[in-house]
A and B are shown apart, each in its own frame.
Chain A
Amino acid sequence: MIEISAYYFGAIALIMIGLYAVLVKKNLLKMLVGLSIMETGVNLLLISIGYINGKSAPILSEGIGPKQAVDPIPQALVLTAIVIGVATTAMALSAAIILYEKYGTLNIEEIRRLRG
């Protein structure tokens, strides 16, 4: 049986890795990958908050009543958050395509027409 803190540790580690990629990487696509990793970490964190050791998925079926299931609310939240994350990623990638067409590069140090 894994301790619950292991899940928290894993989730926060993912968030940190994602944040590092967003802040440090120069390539736009790598930054977007970082953003995705960060979102995944946050989703895992939410899921682990609702997790109760030894209980099953919150799907009402034979032998699984409200007492035998984990907290369903975080799972609903994560479902929503995943959908939102997909929309953001799709939006960001299409903007990246336009950027590559107009600037011919994905290096963020060269994409700097707006300044001041």
Chain B
Amino acid sequence: MNGQYASLLIAIPLISAFFVPVIKAASKKAVMPFLVLVTAAQTAAAAWVFNEVYTTGKPIIVMAGAWRPPVGINLYIGHFAALFVFIVAAVSFLLSIYNFKTIKIEPIDKYAMLFLLLMLGATGMIATGDIFNLFVFMEITSITAYALTAYNKTGEAAEASMKYMILGGIGSSFFLIGIAIVYGSLGTLNMAQIAQLAGSMNATAAQAGLALLIFGLAVEAELFPLNAWAPDAYQAAPHPVTVMFSAFVVKAGLYAAARLLYIMQSVGSWHSVLKLVVIMATLTVLVAEFSALRQRNVKRMIAYSSISQVGFIALALALGTQAGVDAGVFHMVNHAIVKALLFIAVGYVAVELGGAEMENFRGLGRRMPITAFSITIGSLAVIGIPMFNVFWSKLRIILATVDVGYTWAAALVLIASVVEAVYYLRLLHVIWFEGSGERITESAALGAIMLLLVALVIVIGVYPDYVWNLAQKAGADIFNVAQYIKNVPLMGVGA
């Protein structure tokens, strides 16, 4: 089949989002099943693209309107994008089932639209090959994310959304200034052409431009100091939206930051920008872990833990070596699975027991055994116990960090991991050894989703090689810029 069909990945959620009001007019009950249908179609399309890219070993370049880049805007679905577009679609599919249980507040049709648009934004950010197109997808993602954060219509939700909007507004302005600097010096917006010409850029201008782009993305990628919105938004947003934030919205931001970092790698001042990101990432890990320690709300605690894991990924991606990028991508995959599991389970508890406060988790082992079991496996995995998936990626990140010579960073994140173990074990203690209560019948569908994710955590933990191979290929896709330039069929027009 023709690779241009990969543009369906953008087209399916976009057109379906516009059809939601029509579906609602027909029958209000049909909106949620419609979401399941659309995300299933998206998953199928993404699975086809994934298969195509990994069997041929060649990226799919979608050219909008058949204009060759850099005149036309192209999508670049390489090994990384194929893998992550699939993860985005699959997680959204699981969440569309989860929605039935968790979304009770009206207006459901608006929720369905925003849900699809958020999925579209993250997919687009991962797939695009044009820097301004990246900005547009980033704004689609963030505006829908603001709206979804405020969806519960409580004061807290509006407050969290407002914080997110102000930081996001500053971030997007910074990003645009970065684009202005890059366009002003190179005269192109296509990423492959930027990579080609980056060496000719004035080192100071490149440093400023790249730093501004990274700062702009740091809001989405939840890097310190621009992540103050994240714990609030995670806590106040509806439960499926929290899962989306943690499983793929933040990954899209991280990926975009990494892609921009590496396409600019031939500029003279590249290493000083890398060092800046390493410092931001290490601070992210430390600040988030110590804040997590004093949380009484479990959802907020796991949000902080998610931010610290994001710091780990950013650290790995900013090392500037092949090993680091591979480890970072591997951690992204593992983190998406584990945090999806934890947030789904915690959200389910919050729905059943009326809140995610620590007190509600007392005796959970007796009340909701499957959910409690899932939280236990997820927590043990996040701490980095061997035989679970996160262990392998954390190990590789720390090895890669020491390899580059950032021993101080490795030491600091290891200390942070110990802190992480403390608060997760405290949660497990509350779940299994305190309190008691009536047994609650757990939903079979949600139980199946959680057990599926648990199985993934354990299978990847025992046989990490398959996913590690995928991660290596995806990492090479980010790291090997010469290949990236060669893959995009640039028209022979110079800047």
Report A's interface with B, CB cutoff 8 A. Answer: 15, 18-19, 22, 28, 31, 35, 38-39, 41-42, 45-46, 49, 73-74, 77, 80-81, 84, 87-88, 91-92, 95-96, 98-99, 102-103, 111-114, 116
Which of chain A's residues have a CB closer than 8 A to the CB of B147? 91
> Which residues of A have CB within 8 Å of B232?
114
0/1 per residue, B110-151, Cβ < 8 Å to A? 000000000000000000000010001001000100110010
* B interface residues with partner A (beta carbon < 8 Å): 132, 136, 139, 143, 146-147, 150, 153-156, 158-162, 165-166, 168-170, 172-173, 176-177, 179-180, 183-184, 189, 231-232, 235-236, 291, 294-295, 300
Q: What's the minimum C-beta distance from B383 to chain A, rounded to whole angstroms?
A: 22
If A46-B183, A88-B168, A114-B236 are given as contacts, then 6 extra A-B residue pairs at C-beta distance below 8 Å, sorted by A number, are A42-B177, A88-B165, A96-B162, A113-B159, A114-B156, A116-B294
Q: Measured between alpha carbons, how far is A3 from B110 in the docked complex, in Å?
A: 49
Interface pairs (9), CB distance under 8 Å: A46-B183, A49-B184, A88-B139, A88-B169, A91-B143, A92-B169, A98-B153, A114-B235, A116-B294
Contact call A99/B169, Cβ cutoff below 8 A: no
Pairwise interchain contact A99-B155, C-beta atoms closer than 8 A: yes
How long is the Cα–Cα vector from A111 to B160 in the complex, in angstroms? 10
Q: How far is the CB of A29 from chain B (nearest CB, A)?
A: 11
Q: From DSSP, what is the main secondary structure of chain B's interface residues?
A: helix
Closest CB pairs A-B (n = 8): A102-B155, A98-B158, A49-B184, A114-B232, A35-B169, A84-B139, A42-B176, A99-B158
Provide the bound-state CA to CA distance between A92 and B142, in Å.
12
A15 vs B235: C-alpha distance in the bound complex, in angstroms? 32
Determine if B170 and A38 form an interchain contact, defined as CB atoms under 8 angstroms apart: yes
Residue of B nearest to A92 (CB): B165
Please tell me which one of the listed residues A38, A74, A111 contacts residue B173 in the complex, with CB atoms under 8 A apart. A38
A39 to B153, CA, bound (A): 27
B71 nearest CB across to chain A (Å): 10
B295 / chain A contacts, CB cutoff of 8 Å: 116
Chain A residues with CB below 8 A from B235, complex form: 114
Residues of A within 8 A of B177 (CB): 15, 42, 45
A94 CB, nearest partner CB in chain B, Å: 8
Q: When the two chains form the complex, which single residue of B139, B155, B176 contacts A113, counting CB atoms closer than 8 Å?
A: B155
Q: Give the interface centre of A91, A102, A111, A112 by most chain B CB atoms within 10 Å.
A: A91
Contact B146 A95 (CB under 8 A): yes
B143 and A73 form a contact (CB under 8 A): no
